[in-house]
Amino acid sequence: MDVRRFKTLIAIAELGTFAKAAEAVYLTPAAVSQQMKALEEELDMPLFDRSKRPPALNPAGHALIPKALHLIKSYEELKPSLEGELNTLEHLTVGTVPTTTTGIMPRALKALQDDHDNLHIRIYPGLSDDLYAQIDRGFLDVAVMTEPPTVYKHMIWRPFTEEPFVVLTAKEITIKEPKEILQTKPFIRFARKAWVGRIIDQWLLDNNIHVHETMELDTLEATEAMVMHNLGVSIVPLNCCSRPEHEHLNIIPLGDASFKRVLGVLYRRDTSKHIVIELLWNKLIKIVEDSGRTKVLLDPVKHQNNSTS
């Protein structure tokens, strides 16, 4: 029996349609439909009411969901419980926000694989809200992302650094007062759909700063490239790892200690991969310490959000 079919079934139950579930499990809608037909044939019973559009779970399908969740958990814990996690672990699926994919994450994952050469790591880039949903459904083992507004009780959030927000400008700009820069220069906005973008929008609103927006981008690299060519200025989190591009930019502190974003790892409490996730977290901490650009966060309780069920 293919456990992947049960994961797809759960995605359909949570998201409501084959098309949305296909995006969540990285398949085509046709492949999702084929998986469900194969599962129905294997169980010798229909799981969907196909007289509806889109097809909806029938009573048998709904009854199968809690059993499918239990089966997936038992399957994932099987090998580690028998042989020891580090000796048998082969795969780790890691979600990463775009702002970490060219900075801290390559270094952390390389250090992890150097210590455990039997570990195969799969990376899934995405925005924090999408990664949160993927962890919730069990499609990712761990996500390195911006701090969630809330943390469900079946999840664990472990921060490792906080990055203050700064103003980026091209070297040609000589103004040093950040609010003057923001109010007089074209503004390159970090994507509103990203949690970081929403934090920046709220700060601008709270400080009554009106910007002249010229473009909206969803990656730090694209933003830095546009700023470097003097197409505008931007507000971004100060990357915890320095990159060569920073030498060609003015990085101006905003002077607001409360205006920051927290980076950490998010994973489910029932994961079978606690040990390797702990190793990843320690690698991230070490890189932040060695870089010395941003504050290291070591106390997961102090920075834990109020959880909800």
pLDDT at 254 over 70: yes
pLDDT at 38 over 80: yes
pLDDT at 87 over 70: no
Is residue 104 within 8 A of residue 288, CB to CB? The reply is yes
Residues 122 and 200 in one domain: no
State residue 252's pLDDT score: 94
Residues 139 and 150 in one domain: yes
Rounded mean pLDDT of 257-281?
91
Number of neighbours of residue 109 by Cβ within 10 angstroms: 20
**How many Å apart are CA 171 and CA 243, to the nearest integer?**
16
**How many Å apart are CA 8 and CA 187, to the nearest integer?**
42
Q: Where are the alpha helices (DSSP H) in 172-238?
A: 178-184, 195-206, 220-228
Residues 156 and 268 in one domain: yes
Average pLDDT score, the chain: 87
State residue 1's pLDDT score: 65
Least confident of 32-41, 113-122, 226-235: 113-122
Confidence band, pLDDT 50/70/90 cuts, at residue 119: confident
Backbone angles phi and psi of 199, in degrees to 5:
-65, -45
> What pTM was computed for the model?
0.68
Residues 16 and 65 in one domain: yes
Rounded mean pLDDT of 137-146?
93
Residues 130 and 190 in one domain: no
Number of domains in the chain: 3
State residue 120's pLDDT score: 86
Residues 102 and 223 in one domain: no
State residue 63's pLDDT score: 92
CATH of the domain at 21: 1.10.10.10
State residue 269's pLDDT score: 92
183-234 residue pLDDT tens: 999 999 988 888 888 899 999 999 999 999 999 988 888 888 999 999 999 9
Residues 155 and 268 in one domain: yes
Identify the residue with better confidence: 208 or 78: 208
Residue of 238, 231, 235, 233 lying closest to 206 (CA atoms): 235
Residues 278 and 149 in one domain: yes
Percent of the chain with pLDDT over 90: 55
Is residue 90 within 8 A of residue 63, CB to CB? The reply is no
Q: Where are the alpha helices (DSSP H) in the chain?
A: 3-15, 18-24, 29-43, 59-83, 85-88, 104-115, 128-137, 178-184, 195-206, 220-228, 274-291
Residues 106 and 135 in one domain: yes
State residue 83's pLDDT score: 47
CATH of the domain at 212: 3.40.190.10
Confidence band, pLDDT 50/70/90 cuts, at residue 89: low
Residue of 143, 260, 142, 129 lying closest to 194 (CA atoms): 129
Identify the residue with better confidence: 301 or 203: 203
Name the residue range of residue 207's domain.
Answer: 162-260
Residues 187 and 62 in one domain: no
Residues 271 and 153 in one domain: yes
pLDDT at 85 over 80: no
pLDDT at 302 over 50: no
Domain's final residue, options 60, 83, 106 = 83
Q: What is each CA distance from 235 to 99, 197, 206, in whole angstroms?
A: 13, 9, 15
**How many Å apart are CA 58 and CA 186, to the nearest integer?**
54
Contacts of 53 (CB under 8 A, 6+ apart): none
Domain's final residue, options 64, 83, 102 = 83
Rounded mean pLDDT of 168-188?
95
Is residue 165 within 8 A of residue 221, CB to CB? The reply is no
Residues 171 and 151 in one domain: no
Rounded mean pLDDT of 266-280?
90
State residue 305's pLDDT score: 45
Tokens matching residue 77: 């814990």
- The β-bridge relationship of strands 155-170 and 295-296 is antiparallel
Is residue 265 within 8 A of residue 142, CB to CB? The reply is yes
